[in-house]
Structure 1
Amino acid sequence: MAKYSKSASKDVKSALHRKKKGTLKSGKGGKGGTVKSRKQAIAIALSEARKKGKKVPTKKK
């Protein structure tokens, strides 16, 4: 059984492209600075996928 849905993987892929372009922003509503780290970009993409209701495991505490 897959942990992540294919559409969630696509969201991560597009977020990494946005990071590379410099258009991926952190913070609520993208009001923060530009994302520098790869891990941060993946975390943002997974949280966006979670909000859309895609199959993503719950956030670890």
Structure 2
Amino acid sequence: MAHDERDWSGDVTARSDALDLEEGVFEKDDPKAIAASLKASAEASERRKGTPYGSAMSMLTFYINRAGRHLSRERKAVLEDAKHELRKAFGRED
């Protein structure tokens, strides 16, 4: 990955027009806290495209995909668990 690609993805994560994210949201250790923060950001945003659920899940998925192999197994597990918690928070669980 070229240096400017890393800068681009970090810039998108930090200053996305879709959501104003809480600083350090993806570094939290509690999947429920990550989900709650993303949900609050998505519901508060007037600039997002699509639904709050879609925006929040897209941002979480984007972060996981861009971090890719640089995520530890433990960190990736927390973020994947946050997806599950986000679905629950939005009433999307079966």
Question: Whose helix fraction is larger, Structure 1's or Structure 2's?
Answer: 2
TM-score by length of 2: 0.33
Q: Give the structure with higher Rg (CA).
A: 2
